[in-house]
Amino acid sequence: MAAEQGTSTNQSVERAAAVLAAFHDGQPLRVADVATRAALGQSTTSRMLATLEALEYVERDATTGLYRLGTGLITLAGSALNQHPVYRASRRHAQEAAALLGLGVNVSVLHRGTVFYLANYEGALAPKSMTLAGQRNALHATGMGKCLLVGSTPEERRAMLPELPRFTGRTVGAHEELDAQVALVLERGYATEVEELALGRACVAAPIRDAAGEVVAALSISGSLSAIDLDRREGELAGRVIETADEVSTALGYTGPAVYPHHGPSAAPRTLGGGA
């Protein structure tokens, strides 16, 4: 009987998770839509939604009858973020950099073979109507991803990323090319990404290290091609992203100094604590 109860409880949790996951794109849904997305019967879905509504994990619009994710999840998400050491260490520094530069500043960690966004802050030149926190992107197609791969071996990268799908004509499509870009991060302390994930977008990123010197996160400065203007600003932005990542690393307890040869085509050497 206990085994049966355990199975039933697990199945209920899985069904509730499937119902919540149906709202992944942020759109309000009818019961029938949720049932289709969650691969559940409509009556089961209706009962699940009623329970989740009582818990404030979903909300129902009284006029349209459509469901959307509820405020109870915001409370849980806030608690999850506030207990994450990288989020706590990076929040102030990332916000200050976004305000100073007017560009987007993002913080991410490596999670299940993806770039997982912990936070993003948008400056005046990089407005967004939505948050990136909680979203995921490809490691091989982002500047932060290349930084998060620092410390992994070529063999580990091939096991983690057996395929490198192309998102644009500029996406890294071969492991040898990815190996070279990860090695470049180690050499100079930062990564660049220009239209590899999305057209019209670019970023400069740097790794964040913990007290043991391990890369545990990455920070990027991002925006439109014209706002980033790498031809003219690579040295400036590389210096800034390394400095900001270094501040976060220091907050996490990292003390090991490193000297990077350069931060761009015309930048002078700098000594910072946040590199390899």
- The 10 Å Cβ neighbour count of residue 21 is 11
pLDDT tens per residue across span 181-202: 999 999 999 999 999 999 999 9
Would you say domain 79-272 falls under CATH 3.30.450.40? Answer: yes
Domain span(s) for CATH 3.30.450.40 in the chain: 79-272
pLDDT at site 213: 94
Q: What is the mean pLDDT of residues 13-28?
A: 93
Residue range 27-51, pLDDT digits in tens: 999 999 999 999 999 999 999 999 9
What residue has token string 């459509």? 66
Instruction: Give the integer Cα–Cα distance in Å for 219 and 185.
Output: 13
CA distance 24 to 13: 17
What's the whole-number mean pLDDT along residues 41-65? 96
Start-end of CATH 1.10.10.10 domains in the chain? 2-70
Q: pLDDT by residue (tens digit) across 212-256?
A: 999 999 999 999 999 999 999 999 999 999 999 999 999 999 998
At 9 the pLDDT is: 57
Give the three-class secondary structure for 29: strand
Please say if the pLDDT value at position 7 is more than 90: no
Please enumerate in sequence order all residues whose Cβ is within 8 A of that of 269, keeping only pairs 6 or more positions apart, or say none. Answer: 259, 260, 261, 262
Indicate the pTM of the whole model: 0.82
CATH fold, domain 2-70, is: Arc Repressor Mutant, subunit A (1.10.10)
Q: Is the dihedral of CA 142, 164, 136, 196 positive or negative?
A: positive
Q: What is the pLDDT of residue 268?
A: 33
Residue 125 has pLDDT above 50, yes or no: yes
pLDDT of residue 263: 40
* The pLDDT of residue 129: 61
Average pLDDT across the chain, whole number = 89
147: left (phi over 0), alpha (psi -120 to 50) or beta: alpha
Give the contacts of 196 (CB within 8 A, at least 6 positions apart).
141, 142, 167, 168, 170, 171, 172
